[in-house]
Amino acid sequence: MKYLMIFLGLLIGFPLALATENETDHEKLISVVEASNLYADGQSARIEGKAILLLISQEHCSFCVQIKQEVIGPMIRSGAYNKRLIIRELLLDTGSDVIDFKGVRRGNHDFSYDYKVTLTPTLLFLDAAGNELAAKMVGIQTPDMFYYYVDQSIQEALGSLDRQAKR
């Protein structure tokens, strides 16, 4: 009976241990707020003087996961970009809709075509109206330097935003 209880404990506990391990790995992946209403995000960006970083990704894209783990996650955790940047993610493989910058509900794929996005991950650097402030980044070039390049694009976008505000 004692061995049966141990066996049952292992049988039940092992899957729970695996689930806990997987949850721990998943927790390392910072959740990026899904883009659902870019019109509202645009209004917030306009009022707060922020740019919008839009990650266009897919759930089963290993490079998208890598960007979230190695670039977007650390950016969010650091808090260094909170005052000037709204970060959103648009998933192409969920069949979801998004309210675009004009307030129109559209499919995520349809929306992404406006920006000529055909590969994931793609990073867009946008103003409150959805205009590109810096060149989009497609894929991950030079992984060791990618965070630096993203930060440079963010700084370029913020500079463009500041020049717009002065007009």
Render pLDDT for 121-140 as a digit per residue (tens, 0 to 9).
Answer: 999 999 999 999 999 999 99
Q: Indicate whether 83 and 150 sit together in one domain.
A: yes
**Strands of 85-91's sheet, edge to edge?**
85-91, 51-57, 122-126, 132-138
User: Does the model's pTM come out above 0.75?
Assistant: yes
Structural domain that includes position 159:
31-166
Q: Indicate whether 35 and 25 sit together in one domain.
A: no
Residue 86: phi, psi to the nearest 5? -105, 125
Q: Indicate whether 15 and 82 sit together in one domain.
A: no
Q: Indicate whether 53 and 6 sit together in one domain.
A: no
Answer whether residue 157 shows pLDDT above 80. Answer: yes
Render pLDDT for 56-78 as a digit per residue (tens, 0 to 9).
Answer: 999 999 999 999 999 999 999 99
Q: Indicate whether 19 and 39 sit together in one domain.
A: no
Q: Indicate whether 103 and 25 sit together in one domain.
A: no
Q: Indicate whether 23 and 99 sit together in one domain.
A: no
Interatomic CA distance for residues 167 and 163, integer angstroms: 7
Residue 85: phi, psi to the nearest 5? -140, 135
Tell me how many domains the chain contains: 2
Q: Indicate whether 103 and 39 sit together in one domain.
A: yes
Render pLDDT for 88-110 as a digit per residue (tens, 0 to 9).
Answer: 999 998 889 999 999 999 999 99
Q: Indicate whether 24 and 46 sit together in one domain.
A: no
